[in-house]
Chain A
Amino acid sequence: MFKVRVRLEREDFVLDALIEQQEPGVVALFGRSGCGKTTLLNVIAGLLKAQQSYVEIDGTVLEDSAHGVYVRSEQRRVGYVFQDARLFPHLDVAANLKYGWRRAGQRTVGSLSFEEVVQLLGLEGLLRRRPHQLSGGERQRVALGRALLSHPRVLLLDEPLASLDAARRDEVLPYLERLRDELAIPMLYVSHQFDEVLRLATHVVLMQEGRTVTQGALDTISLHPALRAIVGPDAVGAVLNGRVELADGSTGLAAVRVGENVLHVAVPAARPGAHVRVQLLARDVILATVRPEGLSVRNVLSGSVARIVEDDSDTDLVYVDIGGPLVLARVTRAASLSLALRPGAPVWVLVKSVSIRGHAYVTEAAPPVVTTGSA
């Protein structure tokens, strides 16, 4: 789907990026603000020229500096959703939506007509309004629709939620999930919020100071030291893929099978068989050397210490193998010494169910996400 290699040099900044992702889905470009994510996106969109570049999307080469290939931005068919929406202020919502749609020959989006896209994004009541009469969330939904209707081969999303408050973000996120699940358009999603990545992405590319550090599936990347460096000690934690085995409608708790273990987590409206993604924040995971009795903690998993990494001056990050996937636990050095933790030692992993909250998911196409409540 994506094959991008870009090198761009400026006086005070070097962008050196490589994205290779063959499977369809949502690729998240994750890194701190100012690490070059938007610059990379602009090169891919053809709005910025790099010294060396190769951009291939969905089998089509848009740019290849070695062979003098350069498709102009207006001919690339990239649906770009900007952080600040950039709706045309002199046009109403309907005219904004039709801007790209007309120029793309009024084609359907996948199998969706113009009206169906409007419906999918909940824009029916906004068509006659002007951009300055819209809320931030509505603006982003219109921008999303405008990009979608231009019949793009890829959607480039540049932190579409960054300028919104928490309530507005929760208003737009479900629409993004719907696009991911219902349309087969590859997406490149730029973000510096890991919880967005957790909810939306199927793959992650980590960026630091203009360079792409590593990339891969979310569960693999969640254990990478570079991620810890970007998100900080409190947001780091293993991401596990699982499937709902049993859903208890009355308690809202679901039994999710992860490898050899079963996790009890709250997943509203979960159905048996549904894919679920769970993040166990390292700081919420408790370790014990003997199986504890008489605790309220519902999740007690057996495992063994895989490795111990010094996190900072007085804490350790302990990687625990729970029969396949790894779980991260953040413990104080004092605790890790008194428990005599060392690679190979058997441990019990404890996670409270109530500290894990889930989101409702309908499709099985992409793994849904469950995050710990303190995230």
Chain B
Amino acid sequence: MALRSVLWSLPFAMLVAWLLARSRLRGRMLLDVLVHLPLVLPPVVVGYLLLVVFGTQGVLGGWLLERFGIQLVFTSAGAALATAVMSFPLVVRAIRLSLEAVDPGLEEAARTLGAGPWDRFFTVTLPLMLPGVLAGSVVAFAAGLGQFGAVITFAANIPGETRTLPLALYTALQTPGGEALAARLAAISIALGLLGLAAAELLMRRARSLLGR
């Protein structure tokens, strides 16, 4: 579910990061604030807002249900959406930083060598920002595993459907005799987190040595 959320949010995050880093759009400030909002709001508030917007009675949710029969509330897709929204600022941040580190002069060089906009993006810009994007995604993935407030508010805690790792952990703690299970889940959680951070660090190092920085 965390993986799904990262995959879904990546293209959007790239677009937003591009807008924030390169464009001289007038609403840039507003967009910046909006993107970073989930970082400062209590997760429950984000879950609540998602309910309002994407709930079966919500503006978008109702339309989605009617037109496509897609229900997000209380489903795993909904849990992914909630996770994506929560980790969005992290991904955007990482992509934006790596995009700003790409020398626009290299894109100019590609232009004079005959490369059009998309060609330039895929052959120069993207490969150069890829390490940052990957590292950002890994961190977002790890953070996504820990989403709690927004998920439980928006997608509830349904076994096998929307019960994420922290939700399971919480449930185990609430259940008499669940301490052993809780400990195991906690161990998994720690291991996944460590793995994510280590993977991110490794990716950055590989990229750096490749580019000779």
Contacts and interface: CB of A to CB of B under 8 A. Distances in A.
Contact of B113 (A84, A90, A100, A133): A100
Contacts of A100: 112-114
B109 A86 contact: yes
20 contacts: A45-B112, A46-B112, A47-B108, A47-B112, A73-B112, A74-B111, A74-B114, A80-B108, A80-B109, A82-B109, A86-B108, A86-B109, A88-B124, A89-B128, A89-B212, A99-B110, A100-B113, A132-B212, A146-B113, A147-B112
Interface residues of B, number: 21
A51 interface: no
B199 interface: no
Interface of B is mostly: helix
B212 A133 contact: yes
Contacts of B112: 45-47, 73-74, 76, 78-80, 100, 147, 150
Interface of B: 103, 105-106, 108-116, 119, 123-124, 127-128, 210-213
A86 B128 CA distance: 13
Contacts of B105: 82, 84, 86
Contacts, number: 68
Nearest to B207: A90
Contacts of A90: 127-128, 210-211
Give the most central of A78, A79, A99: most B CB within 10 Å.
Answer: A99
Contacts of A130: 210, 212
Contacts of A131: 212
B127 A77 contact: no
A239 to B, nearest CB: 32
Interface residues of A, number: 28
A87 to B, nearest CB: 8
A132 B111 contact: no
A213 interface: no
Given A90-B211, A133-B212, A150-B114, 11 more contacts: A46-B112, A73-B108, A74-B111, A82-B109, A86-B106, A86-B108, A99-B115, A100-B113, A104-B114, A130-B212, A146-B113
Contacts of B119: 103
Contacts of A74: 111-116
A143 to B, nearest CB: 8
A251 interface: no
A313 interface: no
B113 A47 contact: no
A338 interface: no
A75 interface: yes
A100 B109 CA distance: 10
Contacts of B111: 46-47, 73-74
Contacts of A133: 212
Interface in A103-131: 103-104, 130-131
B203 to A, nearest CB: 14
Contacts of B113: 74, 99-100, 103, 146-147, 150
A295 B120 CA distance: 66
Given A74-B115, A103-B115, A89 B109 contact: no
A191 B77 CA distance: 61
Contacts of A75: 114
A232 to B, nearest CB: 31
B116 A89 contact: no
A110 B211 CA distance: 33
A78 B109 CA distance: 10
B30 to A, nearest CB: 28
A88 B114 contact: no
A139 to B, nearest CB: 12
A103 B114 contact: yes
